């Protein structure tokens, strides 16, 4: 579904992502882990087209999308949650999702079509809001929602866009303890659709271990480990050097 070939970016003399080659299959959730500054977010930015690669290629469904900008990549099927920047703060929760449903339906700017399809669009928007547990807040302004609800709304918008690839960068960051399970449940639900490819950047190893089918580890921009979760997490070199875990804490991680 998604593949990077020798993907590289340099900022001045610093190689932030270095010749990363990796393929991500449909029906899998791959966690991308590594210490701060390892290049995880930059790798995401290269895939979604936020920044331009210095070298290498990104393929989606076998097509080379390297020359496309971020909007065209989104249209091609790459869906990324952007730390709340996808939200229209002054629109209601329902309107935010409705716009995403509409974009998906490619109703575009044809006003007649928008009007005639409006009921369908709203119905689909409401279905999505049920899924992300925001139906009772459909009339609230997005800006008035607490942080956790805004993150849920962002996932809802992404779901409404129905991308082939879902990219989550620390989706539970800044959430309260009781909000975290809601987002994790949503990602679990997404996993049930075996046609979707999910990429997750996440520091919380308990989340990674529970959700992922595969873990890749970046360090200094390089791909240094790739495999099924138990073996990657258990690997001493990954624990000590790349996840910053002391050998004494190993028992805790393995538990
Ligand atoms: N636009 C930029 N210009 C210069 N250097 C950058 C830029 N973006 C990222 N970097 C550098 O690239 C490296 C990788 O950063 P990146 O944010 O991708 O790491 P990360 O693994 O996501 O870290 P974290 O876990 O802290 O979010 C860092 O050294 C960072 O300072």
Tell me how far CA of residue 51 lies from CA of 34, 39, 62, 130, in angstroms: 20, 13, 21, 34
CA distance 58 to 62: 9
Supply the pLDDT for residue 112: 53
Supply the pLDDT for residue 255: 45
Q: Could you tell me which CATH class the domain 1-77+163-255 is placed in?
A: alpha beta
Supply the pLDDT for residue 53: 97
Supply the pLDDT for residue 250: 47
Supply the pLDDT for residue 56: 97
SS3 content of the chain, % helix, strand, coil (to 5): 45, 25, 30
CA 232 to ligand 1 center in whole angstroms: 23
Supply the pLDDT for residue 172: 85
- 39 near 220, Cβ under 8 Å? yes
Q: Using 70 as the pLDDT threshold, list the residues of the chain that sit under it.
A: 82-85, 106-116, 237, 240-255
Evaluate: CB of 16 within 6 angstroms of ligand 1: yes
Supply the pLDDT for residue 90: 94
Closest protein CA for atom 14 of ligand 1: 39
ipTM greater than cut 0.90: yes
Evaluate: CB of 46 within 6 angstroms of ligand 1: no
Domain boundaries along the sequence of the chain: 1-77+163-255, 86-162
């Amino acid at each position: 579904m998604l593949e990077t070939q020798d993907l590289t970016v340099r900022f001045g003399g610093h190689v932030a992502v270095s010749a990363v080659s990796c393929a991500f299959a449909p029906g899998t959730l791959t966690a991308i882990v590594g210490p701060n500054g390892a290049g995880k977010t930059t790798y995401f930015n290269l895939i979604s087209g936020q920044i331009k690669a210095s070298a290498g290629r990104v393929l989606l469904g076998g097509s080379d999308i390297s020359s496309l900008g971020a909007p065209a990549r989104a249209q091609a099927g790459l869906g990324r949650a952007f730390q709340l920047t996808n939200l229209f703060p002054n629109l209601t929760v329902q309107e935010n999702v409705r716009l995403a449903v509409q974009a998906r339906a490619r109703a575009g700017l044809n006003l007649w079509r928008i009007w005639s399809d409006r009921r369908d669009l709203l119905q689909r928007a409401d279905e999505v809001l049920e899924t992300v547990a925001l139906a009772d807040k459909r009339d609230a302004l997005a800006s008035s929602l607490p942080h956790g609800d805004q993150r849920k709304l962002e996932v809802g918008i992404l779901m409404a866009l129905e991308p082939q690839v879902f990219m989550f960068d620390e989706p539970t960051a800044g959430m309260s303890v009781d909000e975290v399970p809601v987002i994790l449940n949503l990602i679990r639900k997404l996993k049930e659709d075996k046609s979707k490819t999910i990429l997750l950047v996440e520091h919380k190893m308990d989340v990674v271990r529970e959700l992922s089918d595969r873990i890749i580890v970046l360090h200094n921009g390089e791909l240094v480990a790739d495999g099924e979760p138990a073996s990657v997490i258990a690997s001493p070199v990954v624990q000590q050097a790349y996840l910053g875990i002391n050998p004494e804490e190993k028992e805790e991680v393995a538990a």
